[in-house]
Amino acid sequence: MLVVMEEHAAEEQIQAVIDKLVGLGFDVHRSTGALHTILGGVGDRDFEAAEFEVMPGVKEAHRIVSPYKLVHRGFRPEGSIVRVGEVAIGGEAVVVMAGPCSVETKDQIERIAALVAEAGAKVLRGGAFKPRSSPYSFQGLGEEGLRLMREAAGRNGLLVVSEVMDTTQIPLLAQYADILQVGARNMQNYALLRELGRLRKPVLLKRGPAATIEEWLLSAEYLAAGGNYDIIPCERGIRTFETYTRNTMDISAIPVVKKLSHLPVAADPSHGTGRRDKVPPMARAALAAGADALVIEVHHDPDNAWSDGAQTIGPEQFRELMGQLRMIAPAVGRSL
Amino acid sequence: MLVVMEEHAAEEQIQAVIDKLVGLGFDVHRSTGALHTILGGVGDRDFEAAEFEVMPGVKEAHRIVSPYKLVHRGFRPEGSIVRVGEVAIGGEAVVVMAGPCSVETKDQIERIAALVAEAGAKVLRGGAFKPRSSPYSFQGLGEEGLRLMREAAGRNGLLVVSEVMDTTQIPLLAQYADILQVGARNMQNYALLRELGRLRKPVLLKRGPAATIEEWLLSAEYLAAGGNYDIIPCERGIRTFETYTRNTMDISAIPVVKKLSHLPVAADPSHGTGRRDKVPPMARAALAAGADALVIEVHHDPDNAWSDGAQTIGPEQFRELMGQLRMIAPAVGRSL
Amino acid sequence: MLVVMEEHAAEEQIQAVIDKLVGLGFDVHRSTGALHTILGGVGDRDFEAAEFEVMPGVKEAHRIVSPYKLVHRGFRPEGSIVRVGEVAIGGEAVVVMAGPCSVETKDQIERIAALVAEAGAKVLRGGAFKPRSSPYSFQGLGEEGLRLMREAAGRNGLLVVSEVMDTTQIPLLAQYADILQVGARNMQNYALLRELGRLRKPVLLKRGPAATIEEWLLSAEYLAAGGNYDIIPCERGIRTFETYTRNTMDISAIPVVKKLSHLPVAADPSHGTGRRDKVPPMARAALAAGADALVIEVHHDPDNAWSDGAQTIGPEQFRELMGQLRMIAPAVGRSL
Amino acid sequence: MLVVMEEHAAEEQIQAVIDKLVGLGFDVHRSTGALHTILGGVGDRDFEAAEFEVMPGVKEAHRIVSPYKLVHRGFRPEGSIVRVGEVAIGGEAVVVMAGPCSVETKDQIERIAALVAEAGAKVLRGGAFKPRSSPYSFQGLGEEGLRLMREAAGRNGLLVVSEVMDTTQIPLLAQYADILQVGARNMQNYALLRELGRLRKPVLLKRGPAATIEEWLLSAEYLAAGGNYDIIPCERGIRTFETYTRNTMDISAIPVVKKLSHLPVAADPSHGTGRRDKVPPMARAALAAGADALVIEVHHDPDNAWSDGAQTIGPEQFRELMGQLRMIAPAVGRSL
- Please write down the HEC assignment for all residues of C94-157: CEEEEECCECCCHHHHHHHHHHHHHHCCCEEECECCCCCCCCCCCCCCCHHHHHHHHHHHHHCC
User: Which residue from B238, B245, B251 is facing C249, i.e. has the nearest CB?
Assistant: B251
Residue A64, pLDDT > 80, answer: no
Express each pLDDT in B105-157 by its tens digit: 999 999 999 999 999 999 999 999 988 777 877 788 999 999 999 999 999 99
Report H helices in chain A: 11-23, 50-53, 106-119, 143-155, 170-176, 190-198, 213-225, 253-260, 269-273, 279-288, 315-328
Separate counts of helices (H) and strands (E) for chain B: 11, 14
- The Cα–Cα gap between C42 and C328 comes to 46
- The Cα–Cα gap between C105 and C112 comes to 11
Average pLDDT for chain D: 92
- Can you state the angle between helices A106-119 and A143-155, rounded to 10 degrees? 40
| D27 touches A at CB < 8 Å | no
The answer to whether B99 and B298 are in contact (CB under 8 A) is yes
Return the ∠ at Cα C162 (arms to C156 and C164), rounded to 5°: 160
User: CB distance B59–D62 less than 8 Å?
Assistant: no
| C45 touches A at CB < 8 Å | no
The answer to whether B124 and B154 are in contact (CB under 8 A) is no
User: CB distance A252–D332 less than 8 Å?
Assistant: no
Q: What is the pLDDT of residue D257?
A: 97
Q: Output DSSP code: residue D294.
A: E
**DSSP strand pairing (D87-89 vs D82-84):** antiparallel
> Could you tell me the end-to-end alpha-carbon distance of chain B, in angstroms, rounded to an integer?
44
Express each pLDDT in A283-330 by its tens digit: 999 999 999 999 999 999 998 888 888 899 999 999 999 999 999 999
Name the β-bridge partners of B87: B84
C residues 47-66 lying closer than 8 A (beta carbon) to D:
48, 50-51, 53-55
Average pLDDT for chain C: 92
Chain D contact set for B31 (CB, 8 A): 29, 31, 40, 42
Express each pLDDT in B167-217 by its tens digit: 999 999 999 999 999 999 999 999 999 999 999 999 999 999 999 999 999
Q: Output DSSP code: residue C278.
A: G
- The Cα–Cα gap between C103 and C101 comes to 7
B residues 111-170 lying closer than 8 A (beta carbon) to A:
131-137, 165-169
When comparing pLDDT for C36 and B21, which is higher?
Answer: B21
Residue D137, pLDDT > 90, answer: no
C107-142 burial string, b = 16+ CB within 10 Å, else e?
Answer: ebbbbbbbbbbebbbbbbbbbbbbbbbbbebebbbe
- Residue D45 pLDDT level (bands cut at 50, 70, 90): low
Residue D32, pLDDT > 90, answer: no
CA A102 vs. chain centroid, Å, equals 20
- Residue B323 pLDDT level (bands cut at 50, 70, 90): very high
Please give the full DSSP string across A103-141, using - where no structure is assigned.
---HHHHHHHHHHHHHHT--EEE-BSS---SSTTS----
- The Cα–Cα gap between A130 and A120 comes to 26
Report the run of H or E that residue D108 belongs to, with start and end: helix D106-119
Q: What is the pLDDT of residue C323?
A: 98
Q: Which of A166-180, B60-74, B252-266 has the lowest mean pLDDT?
A: B60-74
Q: What is the pLDDT of residue B44?
A: 65
- The Cα–Cα gap between C110 and C152 comes to 5
Q: How far is CA C7 from CA A49, A258, B180, in A?
A: 20, 18, 44
Phi/psi for C201 (5° steps) reads -135, 145
Express each pLDDT in A235-283 by its tens digit: 999 999 998 888 999 999 999 999 999 999 999 999 999 999 999 999 9
Cβ neighbors of B107 (< 8 A, separation 6 or more) are none
Please give the full DSSP string across D172-218, using - where no structure is assigned.
HHHHH-SEEEEPGGGTT-HHHHHHHHHS-S-EEEEPPTT--HHHHHH
B residues 309-328 lying closer than 8 A (beta carbon) to A:
309-311
Q: What is the pLDDT of residue B45?
A: 67
Express each pLDDT in C290-336 by its tens digit: 999 999 999 999 988 888 888 999 999 999 999 999 999 999 999 99
User: Which residue from C250, C282, C332 is facing B242, i.e. has the nearest CB?
Assistant: C250
Share of chain D above pLDDT 70, in %: 98
Q: What is the pLDDT of residue B308?
A: 84
Q: What is the pLDDT of residue B124?
A: 98
Give me the sign of the Cα torsion angle A155, A161, A165, A169: positive
D258-295 burial string, b = 16+ CB within 10 Å, else e?
Answer: bebbbbbbbbbbbbbbbbbebbbbbbbbbbbbbbbbbb
Closest approach of D252 to chain C, Cα-based (Å): 17
Q: What is the pLDDT of residue A35?
A: 72
What residue segments make up the domains of chain D, in order of their start? 2-65, 82-332
Number of CB pairs, chain C paired with chain D, less than 8 A apart: 124
- The Cα–Cα gap between D222 and D224 comes to 6
> Which residue type is seen at B264?
P
Q: Which of B59-68, B72-81, B222-231, D190-199 has the lowest mean pLDDT?
A: B59-68
ipTM value: 0.92
Dihedral of the alpha carbons of B305, B307, B311, B314, in degrees to the nearest 10: -20
Residue D46, pLDDT > 70, answer: no
Cβ neighbors of D284 (< 8 A, separation 6 or more) are A288, A289, A331, A332, D321, D324, D325, D328
- The Cα–Cα gap between A239 and B257 comes to 21
Average pLDDT score over residue span B294-304: 95
User: Which residue from B2, B6, B241 is facing D2, i.e. has the nearest CB?
Assistant: B2
Give the nearest chain B residue to C279 (CA atoms).
B252
Among D287, D298, D180, which Cα is nearest to D235's? D287
Among A272, A205, A227, A214, which Cα is nearest to A245's? A272
Express each pLDDT in D143-158 by its tens digit: 999 999 999 999 999 9
Chain D contact set for C134 (CB, 8 A): 46, 67-68, 218, 221
Q: What is the pLDDT of residue C164?
A: 96
User: Which ranges of chain C have pLDDT less than 70?
Assistant: 33-34, 44-46
- The Cα–Cα gap between A58 and C259 comes to 13
Q: Which CATH class is domain C82-332?
A: alpha beta
Q: What is the pLDDT of residue D60?
A: 84
Among A164, A160, A159, A222, which Cα is nearest to A188's? A222
Name the β-bridge partners of A93: A335
Residue D35, pLDDT > 90, answer: no
Fold of the domain built from segment(s) C2-65: Alpha-Beta Plaits (3.30.70)
Q: How far is CA A48 from CA B290, D241, D325, in A?
A: 33, 19, 43
User: CB distance B44–D27 less than 8 Å?
Assistant: no
- The Cα–Cα gap between B162 and B175 comes to 11
Closest approach of B10 to chain A, Cα-based (Å): 19
Q: Would you say the CATH fold of B82-332 matches that of B2-65?
A: no
